[in-house]
Structure 1
C-alpha cells in the first residue's frame, strides 16, 4: 500500500474514532493481548500462530527486506528470519502444520501478472537466513488486490481478494514451482477482507475486515456468524490464539496493539464487510517480468483503555459508508498531486 493510500486509510480510521468518541461504551472492552513494540515492525500485516515453537509470525507490509518476524507471547521480538527473495507487496502470513507461508499477494493497482507465495519448512525462531520455496499464481479473471492468505490442514493454499465484491480463490492441491499456477474461484467473500485463518478444527474460516469478523463454513463458505471488532488504525491481521480459545486481531503501525476477541458463534450477527478506501496504485506493484525463483538459496549462516469497545464499533458501523466516501475523495485528491 502506498504512502498516500495509507494516509487515506488513516484519515478514514480517524474519522470513525472521532465520530464514535462520544458513544456509550460496553461493560468490558476487548483486552489487549500484547503490543508489538519492536522498532523493525511498523507495518504488521498478517499474524500466524506457530504451536510448535509457541510464537506468532508476522511480516511488514509492502516490499523492503524479505523478512518474517517471530513474536513471543508478550509481543516482544524473538527472532528475525530473512530469505533471499525480492517480494513486491507482502500482505499476509499463514501457518499449516510445520510450514510457514508468506503471501506476496498485494496488488493495489491490479497490474501484476502473477502473485507469489513463499514457503518455509520447519521455521525456527532464531535470527538466521533460510532457504525457501516459491509458488506463483495467477487469477482466472485478471489481477486482483489481496491481503488474505489461507492454508488448510492439508496444506492447500487459498487467497481471498480485498474488493467490494471479494472472492475466495483456491490453488491447485499440488502447485508447481516450475510454472505459474492458475487459481480457481471457489466462493464469495465479504467486502474488503484484510486477513483470515482456518480454525483449528478445519470446519470454519474466520475472515476479518477493518470493522468486523465473519465466520464462514470451510465447506461451501456459507456464513455462520459475524461480530464487530475493536476499532484499529489499520486492522490487517487475524489469527487464532496459541491456546486456541480466542482470535487475535492486530493492526499496522508502530507499537500496534493486538486484541484478544471472542470467536463468534452461530447466532452472533454483524454487518458483512467493512469500510475501506480505494487504494492508489503501488509503484512497486507492477507486472513481474518473469516467474519468481522456485527455490531460495541455502542457509548461509489487560489495558483499561484497550481501544474502542464493541458497542462503539457497532455504532461506528453506521458511519462506514460515509467514511469510505470521504476516504475515497482523499485518495483521489492525493492521486492528482
Structure 2
C-alpha cells in the first residue's frame, strides 16, 4: 500500500503527455505487441509478440496494416524487444521472468524486409556480470553498439562489447542505473535514449546515463513499447492487446523531480535471482541453430546461432510482480485521466 500511495503521489506531479492516435494494429495475430522499431527509409515499423510466439517479426505500414512478416527458424524463449539500425533488424530474446537463463540471445537480420518464407539469421549471446536478469529493452546507438536495459526495482543499463562475437557468450557491462520497470526503449536522432516505464517516458543522456527529462505516459491497457516517428520528431507508444492503439506523444523537454518510492515490491525472480548459472562458462545450445532445411547462409553454423535456455512464465513471485504492474498501470490511467479533467 505504501508503494501504491507513493506511485499515486509520483503520478500526480508528472505532467501528462498530450497524445493522438497514430494508428491501430489490426492484425489479429498481434495480440501482445511487446516492442516497436522504426525503419524510416522504408516507411515501415516492426513489432514482435511477447513470449510464446515463434521466430517471427511483423512489418507494419504507417496505418498499422501488416505488410508482411519476417520469419526465421529459431526457437526463442521469450522475445521482448525489437530494434532497427541502418538496414539491420534486431529481435531480442531477452525476457527472463524467473531469472534462470545463463545467457540471452539477440538475433539480427541484414537488409531486413518482409518476405514469403523463412530467412537466414545470425545471433549474439550475452550474459550479465551480476547474474541472470529480466529485460524487455534493447537499444542500438548511432555506432551500432547494443545496450540491454533490465527491468525491476534495481534496473540497469548494460552495454555489449563494441564488437561482439558470434562464437560463444559475450559478457555485458553494467554502465549505469535505469528507472524502475522499463518496458521498452529507443534511441533518438540526437543520441539520447527514450525509455518507457509503466507510468512515464524518461529521456536519458548517453554520456552520464542520467535522466534529463520526463513526462507521464497516457493511459494504456498495458504500455509495453516505444519508438520514434519516421522523422524522429515525436514518440510512438504501443500497448499489448488485440487491435491495440499506438499513440503519438511529444519528446519530453522538462525534468520533473519525483519522490523515490519509499517501499519496494516483495522480491520477485526478476529482482532477486533465485537460481545461479549452471555453469561458469555457459555454452550456447543448439536451440537457436538453423534446423535442417533452414536457408541459413554458410556463416550460420550451429555454434554461431544460439539461444539461452529458459523457463515459461510461472511462479507466485512472477504473478505477484505482474499484479503489481497491473495495479500501477491502472493507477497511472486513473491519475492521468483525473489530471486531464482538471
Q: Give 1:1-337 correspondences, 5 Å limit.
A: 29-202=18-191, 204-265=192-253, 267-269=254-256, 271=258, 290-292=283-285, 296=290, 297-298=294-295, 312-313=335-336
- Any idea what the Cα deviations from partners look like across 1:275-296, whole Å, max 9, x if unmatched? 9997779xxx998985155764
CA RMSD of aligned residues (A): 3.3
Deviations 1:175-230 (A, max 9, x none): 1111011000000000010000111122x110000110000101121211000011
Deviations along 1:225-257, one digit per CA (max 9) or x if unpaired, are 000011111111000111211000001111111
Give, in angstroms, the shift of residue 52 of structure 1: 2.2
Greater CA deviation, 271-280 or 179-188?
Answer: 271-280
Structure 2 residue runs of 5 or longer lacking an equivalent are 298-329
Question: How many angstroms apart in 2 are the aligned matches of 1:89 and 1:39?
Answer: 20
CA distance in 2, matches of 1:224, 1:28: 16
Q: Secondary structure at the match of 2:19?
A: coil
Check the 8 A contact 2:219/2:337 in 1, yes or no: no
Alpha-carbon distance in structure 1 between the residues aligned to 2:187 and 2:37: 11
Contact 1:59/1:68 (CA < 8 Å) preserved in 2? yes
Taking the aligned partners of 2:65 and 2:180, their CA distance within structure 1 comes to 32
Task: Give the Cα–Cα distance (whole angstroms) in 1 for the partners of residues 211 and 219 of structure 2.
Answer: 22
Give the aligned length: 284
Gaps of 5+ in 1: 1-11, 301-306, 317-337
1-structure distance, mates of 2:84, 2:16: 34
TM-score (norm 2): 0.75
Cα offset, 1:71, TM superposition: 0.5
Confirm or deny: 8 A CA contact 1:139 1:182 kept in the other structure: yes
1:28 to 1:195, Cα distance in 2 relative to 1, 3 A:
closer
